[in-house]
Amino acid sequence: MDNIEKKSADDLEAGPSFSDDEEKDPFNISRTKDATIERLRRWRQAALVLNASRRFRYTLDLKKEEEKKESLRKIRAHVEAIRAAYRFKEGVLQGNGQLPEFSLVSSGDFPIGQEQLTSLTRDHNISALQQCGGVKGLSDLLKTNLEKGINGDDADLLKRRNVFGSNTYPKKRGRSFWMFLWEAWQDLTLIILMVAAVVSLALGIKTEGTKEGWYDGGSIAFAVILVILVTAISDYRQSLQFQSLNEEKRNIHMEVIRGGRRIEVSIYDIVVGDLVPLNIGDQVPADGVVISFHSLSIDESNMTGESEIVHKDSRDPFLMSGCMVADGNGIMLVTSVGTNTEWGMLMASISEDTGEETPLQVRLNGAATFIGIVGLTVAFIVLIVLLARYFSGHTKDAYGKVQFQAGRTSVGDAVDGAIKILTIAVTIVVVAVPEGLPLAVTLTLAYSMRKMMADKALVRRLSACETMGSATTICSDKTGTLTLNQMTVVEAYVGEKKIGSPDSNQLSPMLTSLLIEGIAQNTTGSIYVPAQGNADVEVFGSPTEKAILYWGIKLGMNFEAVRSEASVIHAFPFNSQEKRGGIALQVPNSEVHIHWKGAAEIVLASCTRYIDTNDRLVAMDEEKVIFFKNAIEDMASRSLRCVAIAYTTYDRERVPADEEQLSQWVLPEDDLVLLAIVGIKDPCRPSVKDAVRLCQIAGVKVRMVTGDNIQTAKAIALECGILTSEADATERNIIEGKNFRALSDAQREEISEKISVMGRSSPNDKLLLVQALRKRAHVVAVTGDGTNDAPALHEADIGLAMGIQGTEVAKESSDIIILDDNFASVVKVVRWGRSVYANIQKFIQFQLTVNVAALVINFVAAVSSGDVPLNAVQLLWVNLIMDTLGALALATEPPTDHLMHRPPVGRREPLITNIMWRNLIIQAVYQLSVLLVLNFKGKSLLNLEHDDSGHANKVKNTLIFNSFVLCQIFNEFNARKPDEKNIFSGIMKNHLFMGIVALTIVLQIIIVEFLGKFTKTVRLNWKHWIISVVIGFISWPLAFIGKFIPVPATPISNLFKRRNPPSIN
């Protein structure tokens, strides 16, 4: 147990406290979604950055975040001030026996204008609503039928948008390409290089004339401009991708009632006059008033900043856009949309995304800082050595002539020589400080997010993409995720009778009547019967509600007629905690009927009687209780969801008369009469068994957490492959929610490892399971769709909300939205998560090989001979290949099946693995050996000893430059598959990679053969080209052979860490 606690303490994800390592290392933030502003500020201050505006572009903008909070605070204060002023004015007038005046001003075809509607809801002006004739009068003014809604044809919608506006708000324009170009200029080293280029240009033209003197300065300037241009284009494209994904995140879909039927529309298409059904977890899409409500409670904290839940009734019917339905259900009449609402004004003022950093991005900034410090040190040493050699007369030009002679060399020439040395040193810094390394994360994330949309996953939080690659367990819902969510009642026990296909003739009249009444009234669903009799009936609601309503239709239910026969007194909406919902009805004979519907064994436990086939009320003796329990178990073992329907009568006199007391009334739930137990079939998704097996191969344990009966959960788990056999279906692997929550924290922690199935669980049980697993150092992904799932979704490392069945509250708390509610899509997200990490590692291996080789060759050559084989323009071209083009090629590799045949990526796993070190060292040593041999022995090896000294040096340096670049091109293929021997697997599927490699080769040929004056190169003959290609090609067989060299399991970086004292068990 001590070992477990120690492991948990070492990991930020296991709990809120930070480990000693994390406190010391500002770049070690395992969970950025809960990190404090101060913590985020710390790593920014610790990073070595050449271009802050670019490096931190896709991280959280701390200044804007604070401005956003301040803006929100001001708008909230504004809302409260207006209301307070109105209430004061209303109080004064009422004290004088007057009512505030509310005059109607017609607008277009409507007797009421937008200004009056805005003040009505903004001020919560109840007296104005009464002057309009209440909700009915207001709906008449807006030409809305309170039962059927608006007409909803195109002409009607257009007219309403023209008069009252649309439900959109002006968005701040995204940054233009010129802004990205300007930001790319902000790099300190590039600015120094441009200044050096201008000075060199001026001195060159002065000493050598315009025709020849502009090449040195001009070539550096051109190279810098090219780097800036390519960088800006790449960044701009990423920005456009993020913009489109952000738009997708904001586009919520909701149901509205138009022409008597419920249809789903985008939140942007809602108009004034629309009727919008609201259920627990929904976002209020516009300002409006409630026209019907059952225990409706609204969380207005988004607008008021207060976490208090506000109950809505006829005394306070006003709803504000942007708030969330905390409990109950109702229907609202929309009165204001878009910027005519406080929420719209707020969104218009803070619509710009403030960004977000990911743990990998922070770690890569740390790696870039370390590499940058090494590079700066090397560049500084090179600068000092070259300057010392130059001014001491030890530096010679290509023809062997001493470049600086004290008292003889002109000031201009001396300055020009010093500037050339400075440009080399600064260019080494450009190459050495890998600015593109942290930005490669955003590149691969942008690519992955776009592709994940096609795989039915919408990423809300960037960090979830990469964290999913570390997931060790997935806690999945059953209904709709593992199953199809296409429910049908296939079996029922009515009275003592088991029936298959329902037929009202099989049942007694009273029993049929009560069943139909309970089905039609105690539901949040609805039925639309088209005017033309031959058209199909349309049923709306949750899959369970729809299944029971269809069953009711088969029993002969006339939905509208039954609902019109009784009036609703009070309702207790279904919730996942209680696992049942009820309704109190005033029926025509002055009786009160209370209907309940919910989890079969829970409702059965409250039943004391049942109605037999002869319409007689029979007491529920022990024998009958066992009979019904066996029926439930039998259906559950065949993976049927069991729902019981019951009712009771109640004295009208005992029903609270006062509206406030009625809203607090708890419906009687004892002494119920059982009407029916129905078995609902929800088949497993065809793809789910393969998806679960793939997870198991990948080292990710799938756990089912469901509110369903434990027997149903077990049957589905066996069907899905979560439990492999009946032998696995033991108490150790299966647990009920109530038993789990009754355990102590330590016991929950211990048992959580073994749990495969949790039945009859509440959302709080799911939260407790997530917490227990995280304390065991698991990286937990959780699926959820209900409002009460929000805490578990937030607590989990990756919260996955369901796109179809998920409430807005669940989606807001999630990191990724699974658009098709399919478990197979969850597994695809795991695949993409691993791909993100793998692609970054490929890029690191490639970039570090270039870094090491370029730095060492220039350093050794500078110290030993006072000259560098790779000049400033060549290094800038190498930087372009390494940073922007390399990131594009390697960070956009699509995921492969190979990724799912390895264990999850550990959160503490080093960025550079032992395999990467092996590959990197082999390639770097090879490149350095070849290039250093060419540098010091190139003339003799290439038979250039008898050539002109200046030309021989240029040929040798050109060959070094050409071989170096071709080595990187060939090594780019090696970097694709760090741990696979076949580096060409799937190569033709990555068109971007092949395109970038082809472009690099073409540009290299052009640079060497045609741009020699700019790059200080000479044309190479075919033999030299073959030598360059062979030098590059050898890296392929070398990499292949190198992969047979075994590497230790313990990361190399761990060998250098201070060993922790052994724990005492």
**216 annotated active-site:** no
827: its two tokens? 């597994």
Q: Three-state SS for 473? A: strand
- Catalytic pick from 327, 416, 477, 789? 477
User: How many other C-beta atoms can be found within 10 angstroms of the C-beta atom of residue 79?
Assistant: 21
Hey, what amino acid is at 343? W
- Decide the pairing of beta strands 617-619 and 457-459: unpaired
C-alpha span between 465 and 445 (Å, rounded): 7
Are 314 and 659 within 8 A, CB to CB?
A: yes
| Residue (of 972, 858, 966) closest to 431 by Cα position | 858
Residues 280, 299: Cα–Cα separation, whole Å:
11
The gap from C-alpha 265 to its chain's centroid, in whole angstroms, comes to 23
Matching residue, tokens 């009784």: 566
| Residue 145 to residue 568: CA distance in whole angstroms | 20
Got the DSSP string for 388-423?
HHHHTT--B-TTS-BS--TTTS-HHHHHHHHHHHHH
Angstrom distance (rounded) from CA 932 to CA 323: 67
Burial state string for 168-181 with b = 16 or more CB within 10 A and e = fewer than 16: bbeeeeebeeeebb
- Cα separation of the two ends of the chain: 8
Burial (CB < 10 A; 0-12, 13-18, 19+), residue 1048, is: exposed
| Number of Cβ atoms within 10 Å of the Cβ of 135 | 17
Task: Answer whether 19's CB lies under 8 Å from 449's CB.
Answer: no
Strand partners, 426: none
Task: With CA atoms as reference, report the closest residue to 647 among 631, 627, 668.
Answer: 668
CA angle 331, 335, 337 (to 5 degrees): 105
The distance between the two most distant Cα atoms of the chain, rounded to a whole number of Å, is 124
Residue 697, SS3 per DSSP: helix
Tokens of 406: 């004290």
Q: How many CB atoms lie within 10 A of CB 404?
A: 18
| H/E stretch holding 331 | strand 324-336
C-alpha of 512 from chain center: 49
DSSP 149-177: BB---HHHHHHHHHHH--S--PPPPPPPH
Task: For residue 415, give the amino acid letter.
Answer: V
Is residue 389 within 8 Å of 395, Cβ to Cβ? yes
Q: Which residue has the tokens 């070849």?
A: 930
CA distances from 619 to 609, 612, 629, 670 (A): 4, 10, 16, 14
Rounded to whole angstroms, how far apart are CA atoms 1030 and 400?
A: 31
Q: Contact 239/175 with Cβ under 8 angstroms?
A: yes
3-state DSSP assignment of residue 1059? coil
Instruction: Name the pairing type of β-strands 701-705 and 757-759.
Output: parallel
- Which of 6, 260, 35, 278 is closest to 145 using CA atoms? 260
Question: Between the CA of residue 835 and those of 467, 520, 832, 918, 1017, what are the distances in Å?
Answer: 11, 50, 5, 21, 40
- For the record, the structure tokens of 822 come out as 């399919």
Q: Which two tokens stand for residue 978?
A: 């760090």
Parallel, antiparallel, or unpaired: how do β-strands 617-619 and 757-759 relate?
A: unpaired
Q: Provide the annotated active-site residues.
A: 477
